[in-house]
Amino acid sequence: MGLLQNKLIVIGVSGGIAAYKSVEILRQLQKEGASVRVIMTRNAAAFVGPLTFEALSGYSVYMDVVEKDVSGEIRHISWADKADAVIIAPATANMIGKIANGIADDALSTFIMAVRTPVLICPAMNSNMYESRAVQRNLDCLEADGFHVLEPDSGELACGVTGPGRLPDPPFIVDRLKKVLSPSDLKGKRVLVSAGPTIEPIDPVRYISNHSSGKMGYEIARAAEYRGAEVKMVTGKTSLPVPFNVSAVNVLSAAEMYEAMIRNMDDADIIIKVAAVADYRVKDVAEHKIKKTSDDMIIKLEKNPDILKAIGEKKKNQFLVGFAAETRDLRENALAKLKSKNLDMIVGNVVSEEGSGFGSDTNRVTLFYADGNIDHMPVMGKDAVANALIDRILARII
Ligand code: PMT
C-alpha cells in the first residue's frame, strides 16, 4: 500500500497567483489514493473558484468559520481531528504571519490552530516579500513550532521579478509530503543502492542488456531518503527521474558499476545491490558498426567481475543486501548466492511471474537472511516492498 493510500489530506489555499497549482496537488493526491478536503481564504477564492475544488474533491470547500454546515459539523475542529496531514499551498506572507503569531481570524488559520498532525507549509510570493525579515522570522518561528516548511523555487515570478518565491511543482510537493509522513528511522545512516541494468557494447550501435527498468532500486533509494538516510545510488541507464535528495552516479557497463560501487562502499552503512548486472561482456568490441556479411555470427563473451561478491569480500561493518532474479528454484539459488557472496540478506524474486520482477510496478519477494530465517511476502507495490525491506534491515542493525 502506498504512503498516501486511504489518507485524508486537507489542502489550505491562501490568496496568491499560484493557487491554481493547488488543483493539480489535489489531483495528484487523489491519484495516490488519498481523500482530499479543501479550505480556502476569501482572497484565494478570487484566484480560483471554490467550485473547481468542490467538483474535484467531492466535498464543499470550507471558507467561513461562522458558516452553518448542513451536517452540523464544526469543520475547523472535525477536519483537524480527521486529517492525516495538511498542505498549505500557496502559503502567503499574510497566512504565514498569522499562523506564526497565533492569529485565528479566518477558516484556514482557525483550522490550523486545532491541527495536531503534520503540516507542510509551501510559501509562494514575490522575492522581496519572501526575503523580508518579517517573513523569514515567521518561517523560523513555524519551523521551531514543528511545522515543515518547503523552500520555494527560484525563477521568473508572475510579478516579473526573478528570484525565490515560486511554488514548487505539485508532484514535488506531494513527494515532500510523503517524506513528512514517513518515520525518520534511517536518520544518520548512509545507504548505497545500485539500480537498473548494465549495458555491454557489441559495436558503436548495439549492446547486450536486460529488462531492468530501475523501478525496484529507485523505490528503495526513494524510501530510504524519505526515512531520513543519506542516499547514494549507482544507476545503470533508465528512463526514471532520480529521486529527490538522492545523489546519483550514472554508469553503463558492469565494469563502470564495479568501479563506482567499490569506490563508494566504505562510506555506506547499508548496501543494497538491486542492479541487474550482465554476467558477461563482449570480448572484442568492434570499433565500427558490424556489417551483415554472413548468415550467422558468433560473439565471444568474457566474464564480468561479480560486483556483489567483491563487496562481500571487502565489507567491514556494512549490512549487505543482494537480490536474486530467478526463473526457478528460488530458494536453492538465493541461498547459494547469500552464502557465496557473504551477504546479510538476499531478496529473491521469481522474475517470470506475472506482476513480479522486471518492469512491473509490483513485486513478490522472499527475504532470506544469513541467520537462516525466511520471510515470504505477498505481491506488493515496489514502494511497499522497499519500505518492508527497510523495516527488516533496521530490525537487524539496531
Ligand atoms: O529494475 P526493475 O525493472 O524494477 O526490476 C527489478 C529486478 C528484477 C532487476 C530486481 O528485483 C532484481 O531481481 N535484481 C537482481 C538482478 C540480478 O542481477 O540478479 P542475479 O541473481 O543475476 O544476481 C544476484 C546478485 O548479484 C544481484 O544483487 C546482482 O546485482 C549481483 N551481481 C550479479 C552479477 C554480477 N556480475 N555482479 C553482481 O553484483
Q: Which residue has the cell 513555524?
A: 142
**Residue where a domain terminates, one of 155, 181, 207:** 181
Question: Domain span at residue 34?
Answer: 8-181
Nearest Cα residue to 219 out of 200, 191, 190 = 191
Whose alpha carbon is nearest atom 8 of ligand 1? Answer: 357
Q: Which residues pair with 273 in a beta bridge?
A: 194, 322
CA of 77 to the centre of ligand 1 (A): 50
Ligand 1 lining (C-beta closer than 6 Å)? 212-217, 254, 273-277, 279, 304, 306-308, 322-325, 337, 349, 351, 357-359
Mutation pick for ligand 1 pocket among 193, 220, 301, 308 (CB with most ligand atoms within 8 Å): 308
344 and 259 inside one domain: yes
In terms of domains, do 167 and 194 share one?
A: no
At 214, is the secondary structure helix, strand, or coil? coil
355 to 60, 364, 380: CA distances (angstroms): 39, 8, 9
What is d(CA 219, CA 15) in angstroms, rounded to the nearest whole number?
35
- Per-residue model confidence as pLDDT tens for the chain (398 residues): 789 999 999 999 999 999 999 999 999 999 999 999 999 999 999 999 999 999 999 999 999 887 766 677 888 899 999 999 999 999 999 999 999 999 999 999 999 999 999 999 999 999 999 999 999 999 999 999 999 999 999 988 887 888 999 999 999 999 999 999 999 999 999 999 999 999 999 999 999 999 999 999 999 999 999 999 999 999 999 999 999 999 999 999 999 999 999 999 999 999 999 999 999 999 999 999 999 999 999 999 999 999 999 999 999 999 999 999 999 999 999 999 999 999 999 999 999 999 999 999 999 999 999 999 999 999 999 999 999 999 999 999 98
Q: Which of 264, 253, 240, 222 is nearest to 385 (CA)?
A: 222
Residues 48 and 109 placed together within one structural domain of the fold? yes
Pocket test for ligand 1, best of 233, 235, 274 (most atoms within 8 A of CB): 274
Pair type for strands 85-91 and 8-13: parallel
Q: Are residues 150 and 261 in the same domain?
A: no
- pLDDT value of position 70: 67
Ligand 1 centre and the CA of 283: distance in Å? Answer: 22
What pLDDT sits at residue 158? 82
Quick one: pLDDT at residue 1?
76
d(CA 149, CA 119): 8
pLDDT of res. 75: 87
Q: How far is the CA of 324 from the centre of ligand 1 (A)?
A: 6
Distance CA 309, CA 176 (A): 36
CA of 194 to the centre of ligand 1 (A): 9
- Same structural domain, 286 and 332: yes
The cell for 61 is 470547500
Report which secondary-structure segment, H or E, holds 382. helix 382-397
> Which ligand 1 atom is the nearest neighbour of the CA of 309?
39
Q: How far apart are CA 345 and CA 368, in angstroms?
A: 6
Catalytic residues: 159
Residue 74 three-state SS: coil
Q: Are 69 and 27 in the same domain?
A: yes
Dihedral Cα 13, 17, 18, 24, nearest 10 deg: 80
What pLDDT does 69 receive?
Answer: 66
pLDDT at residue number 2 = 85
User: Looking at 181, 213, 231, which one is the last position of a domain?
Assistant: 181
Confidence at residue 123, expressed as pLDDT on a 0 to 100 scale: 98
pLDDT value of position 161: 82
Q: Are 206 and 339 in the same domain?
A: yes
| DSSP letter assigned to residue 16 | S
What amino acid is encoded at 296 in this protein? D
Same domain, 161 and 217: no
Instruction: Please count the structural domains in the chain.
Output: 2
For the chain, report the end-to-end CA distance as a whole number of angstroms: 25
pLDDT of residue 156: 86
- Mutate-to-test residue for ligand 1 from 218, 271, 273, 346, highest number of ligand atoms within 8 A of CB: 273
Q: Whose CA is nearest to atom 16 of ligand 1?
A: 276
In degrees rounded to 5, what are phi and psi of residue 158?
Answer: -60, -30
